[in-house]
Structure 1
């Protein structure tokens, strides 16, 4: 080393704040200021599983994990929140935590969510459930190893758009399909406005492009069991972090392996929430999402003769005309109508005013039906004996 070469700086530097890698920024710091004044610590919920809640803290207690994760006491049961799904803590939430209590760290409050993926559960009560919060990307994972269900894809995308996150579609297991060109085209037609990326964890196809799309934000992976979410997470992380199930037979179906929603940092920046496979995904507050997924139908509806056209049998219906001439596929139109009906039914169950309006509408239709029947029979008609 020459005399004019500067000596290396050996001044100890503090470890980087764990929350920075988890998305902490000036906007969240400003929102958290009142909680800081009360002596609470900020944290991000990294995992919720069977009543347990793990939170990443900027400065956790001595028994915190190397990434700052601690187990905190939090009520994760919807029944304790008056049935309000928005009040239940979930993976991705930003929280105010009291780190030092005799019982250990306690979650005291949740910060307002920028986005949240909210679905209706498959229970008869049609309760809402937040699957992930504060996500920037909603990745709908679809396997090409089985027959495409475009209706289910449109359902997932409707909720993804409604969540406030940016949707994209990851088509997995492309290595099992000799030519996926026509399959990709079908998915693109069902997912207007959402990037569609074919990926393979075996060959590495599309993995770099997907990682680039997700860098710098928080993404949630959504899909049925066996579509390859855990394998995709391992490809993004560059390590076997998630256990993936082997395929069954030669049909390319994986096994359900993920049991909890967990927030995982990506090596190139950003985070991903791996979720368990979803058997059923009911719509919840998804009207805006439906308008995005079926944008071409909404555009056609603007040209119907009647502004309140229901696209059933009304004269001058531009939507039905498009179905008749083949401009709009019958499958897509029926999917749109089905999801609209479901969305209206869910809303009617959760809003007393809408329930009353729905009842009045049914009574109006019944009265109109009876009137039409009487007209067909003819006034004054009496059965002769």
Structure 2
């Protein structure tokens, strides 16, 4: 036997102290805490009364009642949310530690569904120096990237302006979650992060370039041009990964690779030189490799470039040169038969043996005199 809706409502308000129910063959007494937790089951015409009862529970003097109210708040808010998130903001600073924990958990759960309702509370908790408060907020912000990436971008934008590098690092990590859906707002944040003074923030931003190149290649190329010149090695490596994933038919991407082959860093030059054969036809490749050889100082890279300048059709062995010769066109079968009938050789084939004249003596025949 379950509680009726009215019994749940009476329990949650304290109008009834207890309600006895039979559950799985056992008699169970339900208290006000159970009634508050059951408010999420009151829908439709009962939603307003559930909302009023929840407000009473949120301002209860009993910490257990407030904790129960916070647990059910996101569910009740789906029917009616007036004043609920104001109470959530208040209870985040409650004197009772269990209430504060419940409020943080409620904020994490409500963030993806009610971004406007928890906006100010979320911004405050993200900046908290207490891990028990900030970590649920960050998890809520990450979950929000799946539903409202634009709202997340607003939070990231504000967080990137904070002097604390740790906050900027955590904010920049979320760029990977919004890069595909946030549009121009996301591109601006990546660009801003690539200019950050902290190397880790720039690394987090550069990790998005490969993904961005698949959706917005032109934007990715512009950002990669900046990242490839970064002083941090990891940022440059992420930029190189992005270059490898780009369409080399794009003129700007081609120029980016060609310029990278002249980069001051040998690792960058190597990666770009390795991509040249995919980018250029053989004749053009030899010209570019010859030009790069004039300024290249790294022995291994010089060896790679020399191999690219090698032309087997000119400098190769006789067999290598012959490999570039076009084979002769095959002789049609009919013409071959006609030629054989006339005693002519076809190509390099031996001509058929000449038939002896009728008056000519055979080899084993002796002439009579």
TM above 0.5, one fold?
no
Q: Which structure's residues are more often strand, by fraction?
A: 1
Structure number with the bigger relative contact order (C-alpha 8 A, sep ≥ 6) is 1
Q: Which of 1 and 2 has greater Rg?
A: 2
TM-score by length of structure 1 reads: 0.20
More helix as a share of residues: 2
